[in-house]
Amino acid sequence: MLTFNLLVAVCAAYVGFLFLVAFAAEKRARRGRAAWLRSPLVYTLALSIYCTGWTFYGAVGYAARSGLEFVTIYLGPTVIMIAWWALLRKLVRIGRTQRVTSIADLVSSRYGKSTALGVLVTLLCIVGTTPYIALQLQSVTLAFAVFSPTEAVDMNGTALWVALGLALFTIVFGTRNLDVNERHHGVVIAIAVEAVVKIVALVAVGAFVVWSVAGGTGDILRMIEASPIAEYRVQPERWVTLTFLAGAAFLCLPRMFHVLVVENSDERHLATAAWAFPLYLLLISLFVIPIAVAGLAVMPEGANPDLFVLTVPLEFDREGLAMLSFLGGFSSATSMVIVAAIALSTMVSNHIVLPIWLSAGQGGATVSGDVRNVVLLARRMSIAVVLGLGYLYYRFSGGGEALAAMGLIAFVGVAQILPALIGGIFWRGATRIGAGLGVSIGFAVWIYTLFLPSFGVGDVLSAATFEAGPYGLALLRPQALFGLDGMDPLVHAVFWSLALNTGAFVLGSLLSFPHPLERLQGATFVNIYRYSDSARGWGRSFVEAEDLLVMAQRIIGPMEAQALFVSVAAEQGKEGYLPDVTPEFLERLERELSGSVGAATAHAMLGQITGGVTVSVEDLMRVADETAQMMEYSSQLEAKSEELQRTARQLREANAKLTTLSIQKDAFLSQISHELRTPMTSIRAFSEILMDGDQMNRADRRKYSTIIHDETLRLTRLLDDLLDLSVLENGQVTLNEAPATVGAVLDRALAAIESRAEPGSLKIRRERAREDLPIYTDADRLAQVFINIVSNAQKYCDAEAPELRIAVQEIGGSVAVDFIDNGSGIPKASQALIFEKFARLTDQRAAGGAGLGLAICREIMLRLGGSVDYLPGQGGAAFRVTLPRAEAMAAQ
Amino acid sequence: MGGRVLLIEDEPNIIEAIRFILSRDGWAVDVHSDGATAIDAVARRSPDVIILDVMLPNRSGYDILADLRAAEGTRDLPVLMLTARGQKQDREMAERYGASRFMTKPFSNSDVLTSVRELVGS
């Protein structure tokens, strides 16, 4: 009979053996002879921490209670390993290139190094893992109890000792050193050994059951047929849910992520694991049903089926086999706890302790050595805390059925990370807000619908809450959320937590806007293969000095680059342009390059070309910053030069305006000069003729005197017009506005023309119908306009019987006075010109005007608030004078 | 003395004055008032001297002068240029276009007479 003490001694020896194995592995690894330690086989075996004590013992119990449903726990990872191999490869690639240390780190890093997300995921993992650790402690203590039916085993004491032992092992091997990649050779090799022990143990028990208890394979199959296990019906929704859940847990459980991604040393190991690990799972599950069937057949009624793996060999007095089985279970439990503790402590120290310590103001001034100590201390304390929590949970939950169900419940908890994880590596649009919302909501729903109810009715949640919902809100019943009744509680919780989680994640991502860092990280993670196309790993690539020279020439110029390379080569005692690529040389080159392109860019470029330095996100961000600064600077320059150009353009425009004005002024002066000199020429010529013309006859004398007189009048008129125009143009004119009618003003104008000139041949025909239209205007000025237009008609109308029609009409609130003659009119090309100064069209001699008449008319009408326009298409020359109608006068 | 003068001018009173002054001295004076047809008038009248105003209806005196200087038969024909825009650049223009002599309005009668005499005499 195995005694309790012997059992303890065996356990101690086994743990001691593991210590030795781990220690030896660490030693070899330090000497750099760890190649076999990092083989695909070891990686695959390490993955077997998926099979914990719960799987080792509990699978048989699960089968005894629910038939084949236990298979789903193995089916999930198998599906992932085989069908979602690409997903795993991407995760591993991201983990390796981004130096991810835990699942919390990956999620936080993906979403812009979000501290809050890191803390959230860490907390979720702690809550999800603590019961799991408690479960392992329970399985070990139960196993102890099986071997000592007679002695009263101090269960809690045993659990405490196991927890302490595990804490010690984990601290010793899990925090020996601070590896940048968080790889632990000793631990990995130890759990690989444990993986072998547990599969050997389970296969041995299975073989014993099949060929010793039963009479061979045929016999056991008949027993299975006859057992109640065969009668269990598969529940499709539970199968699908559990398979999915197991797959999700395989990815999201902290310890699985740690072994799968963090401890992975070579991507190609994944290819081996993709077939080897499912094979391991097949082997470990092969004998579950036979052991369960045999247990049900040979063990007394009421025996705990969870312990059949131990109790069946003991029933047949196979103590050696039982001991092996015990060690298998012990291995399963301890390996899980060790890796889980390492993974969790990494998260706790990196995402909770260090940020607090750094923000407490200690970080800035300390040297790196201090930080290392702080990190190590934080790790060790975190391990102790994690295991302490597991122990406390075990103590206070009191073991039993509640704990046994905990495995699946923990699965659902950590599965809440899945949407943010998958979304993060496949969807660039996923944002921090979305991930935070999704994980929080999923976490909350999980706690409410599954975790709290798992303590049983009346413990945390009252019976009333279960029956009618909190505060009587039936929609919020924890196991029938939103009225979804009659579902398996687990399926119900998985459905709601993940549906709401994913919904919030997608919606939050779509509605929020990512930070630059988030965007950059998103792109890096989603397109990880583009950012790191090396499956060969760093360091193996060999950088040629020539490549560096090519790059340096482009950046600092050929002469400078060659001079630098020659001088470095000379310092190394070499001739020519190509020095050996030493770290010192690279550092110097980087300094030289920084001068040209900025430190970050130089670092990134050298990193790219040597392949020895990872280009971190911070590097890229700094590159982006520098580029942004340069762009800002150049855009400032651009703005300046634009301003200058604008000023220059304004100056040019002003200058052109002045030039135009000057040209116009010159042209005007030239015109005036011509207009003044022409009459003066006549006056001077005839004065001289008269002066020396003694023998001139009387008629000639009279004729020439008359010419002089007329030309003098012409000069006076010209000067009057010029002064008039000048006054009008300067706006200095004073208007004497008063009520009047068009007819009255026309009367005045025509009378003035008649009195002034000899009665011409022009016949004026007035259409008097609307001449009584009231206007409010300066009658003298308006008459001046009318006189100008009528006298133009007198001068220029070329008809046989010249006739001018004057018609008054009202057009849209304005008064229009049209002057239309029956001549040939003004050519279309000249119509635009006639209102310009000195714009005489025909032979001016006949007209005798200075060419300012219409220009003056235009200015007058402008002052009177009206206009004068040429009216084309009327047969002869036609002018329309438009005036505002006086409404007030119309009323009188 | 005597000879044929072609006066190309559009201002009636000035035509009257110049005609009077030159006729009194024995010159035969032909008058043409339209710029556009001035070249034809020169060909038709074949004058000994031309008095040419700058500001003419339809065509500038400078253009007419340029045509005269470009044509074989009239290249050396004496041309007295008259302008009412007595500015410096007008004199320069006249010289550039090849005017034999340039006078600004108002002019002295004796100057016109002397100029015509000298131009034909030379």
* DSSP per residue, chain B: --EEEEEE---HHHHHHHHHHHHHTTEEEEEE--STTHHHHHHHH--SEEEEESS-SSS-HHHHHHHHHHSTTTTT--EEEEESS--HHHHHHHHHHT-SEEEESS--HHHHHHHHHHHHH-
Report the pLDDT value the prediction gives residue A109, as an integer from 0 to 100.
Answer: 82
Q: Which residue of A has its CA nearest to B108?
A: A685
Residue A258 belongs to some domain of the structure: yes
Give the residue from A699, A704, A235 showing the smallest Cα distance to A486: A235
Strands B27-32 and A774-777: unpaired
CATH number at residue B98: 3.40.50.2300
Residue A406 belongs to some domain of the structure: no
* Shared domain check, A479 and A379: no
CA–CA separation, A64 and A444 (whole Å)? 33
- Find the domain containing A578 and state its range: 540-615
Give the residue from A193, A161, A174 showing the smallest Cα distance to A331: A193
| Cβ-based burial of A868 (10 A; exposed 0-12, middle 13-18, buried ≥19) | buried
- The shortest C-alpha distance from B72 to chain A (Å) reads 32
Residue A408 belongs to some domain of the structure: no
* Shared domain check, A115 and A11: yes
* Shared domain check, A796 and A652: no
Place of tokens 């196979």: A318
* Shared domain check, A271 and A128: yes
Mean pLDDT of B105-114: 91
Strands A763-767 and A867-870: unpaired
* Shared domain check, A374 and A290: yes
Which range has the worst mean pLDDT, A41-50, A631-640, A739-748? Answer: A631-640
Query: Which residues does residue A741 pair with via DSSP β-bridges, in sequence order?
Result: A774
Residue B69 belongs to some domain of the structure: yes
Residue B122 belongs to some domain of the structure: no
- Find the domain containing B55 and state its range: 3-116
| Cβ-based burial of A697 (10 A; exposed 0-12, middle 13-18, buried ≥19) | exposed
User: Confidence band (pLDDT; 50, 70, 90) for A351?
Assistant: confident
pLDDT in tens, A807-850: 998 888 889 999 999 888 888 777 777 887 776 555 444 445 66
* Shared domain check, A637 and A611: no
Residue A43 belongs to some domain of the structure: yes
User: Confidence band (pLDDT; 50, 70, 90) for A538?
Assistant: very low
Mean pLDDT of A610-624: 57
Contact B20 A843 (CB under 8 A): no
User: Confidence band (pLDDT; 50, 70, 90) for A536?
Assistant: very low
* Shared domain check, A226 and A117: yes
CA–CA separation, A322 and A294 (whole Å)? 15
* Shared domain check, A231 and A376: yes
* Shared domain check, A841 and A762: yes
Rounded mean pLDDT of chain A? 79
Report the pLDDT value the prediction gives residue A380, as an integer from 0 to 100.
Answer: 85
User: Confidence band (pLDDT; 50, 70, 90) for A295?
Assistant: confident
- The shortest C-alpha distance from A814 to chain B (Å) reads 39
Report the pLDDT value the prediction gives residue B49, as an integer from 0 to 100.
Answer: 93
Residue A254 belongs to some domain of the structure: yes
pLDDT in tens, B26-69: 999 999 998 889 899 998 988 999 999 988 888 888 999 999 99
pLDDT in tens, A238-269: 888 888 888 888 888 888 888 888 888 778 88
Count of structural domains, chain A: 5
User: Confidence band (pLDDT; 50, 70, 90) for B19?
Assistant: very high
Report the pLDDT value the prediction gives residue B9, as an integer from 0 to 100.
Answer: 92
Q: Of A700, A722, A744, which residue is a domain's last? A: A722
Q: Which residue of A has its CA nearest to B14?
A: A682
Chain A residues with beta carbon closer than 8 angstroms to that of B14: 678, 681-682, 685
pLDDT in tens, A313-327: 888 888 888 888 888
Count of structural domains, chain B: 1
CATH number at residue A771: 3.30.565.10
Q: Which residue of A has its CA nearest to B83?
A: A674
Report the pLDDT value the prediction gives residue A758, as an integer from 0 to 100.
Answer: 61
pLDDT in tens, A433-470: 899 999 999 998 888 888 877 776 666 666 666 666 66
CATH number at residue A87: 1.20.1730.10
Residue A727 belongs to some domain of the structure: no
Report the pLDDT value the prediction gives residue A252, as an integer from 0 to 100.
Answer: 87
Q: Helical H runs in A31-154?
A: 40-47, 53-66, 71-83, 85-97, 103-110, 115-147
* Shared domain check, A468 and A560: no
* Shared domain check, A203 and A83: yes
Chain B residues with beta carbon closer than 8 angstroms to that of A714: none
Q: Of A537, A567, A582, which residue is a domain's last? A: A537
Whether ipTM exceeds 0.90:
yes
| Share above pLDDT 90 across residues of chain A, in percent, rounded to a whole number | 6
Contact A673 B87 (CB under 8 A): yes
Q: What is the DSSP letter of A233?
A: P
Strands A774-777 and A814-821: unpaired
Q: Of A499, A516, A537, which residue is a domain's last? A: A537
Q: Are A556 and A593 in contact (CB under 8 A)?
A: yes
More confident: B18 or A144: B18
Mean pLDDT of A571-580: 80
Residue A580 belongs to some domain of the structure: yes
Residue B38 belongs to some domain of the structure: yes
Q: Say whether pLDDT at A361 is over 80.
A: no
Of these ranges, A103-107, A287-291, A502-506, A520-524, the one predicted with the greatest mean pLDDT is A502-506
Q: Are A875 and A811 in contact (CB under 8 A)?
A: no
Q: Say whether pLDDT at A484 is over 70.
A: no
* Shared domain check, A696 and A749: no
Q: Does A562 touch chain B (CB under 8 A)?
A: no
Strands A814-821 and A803-811: antiparallel
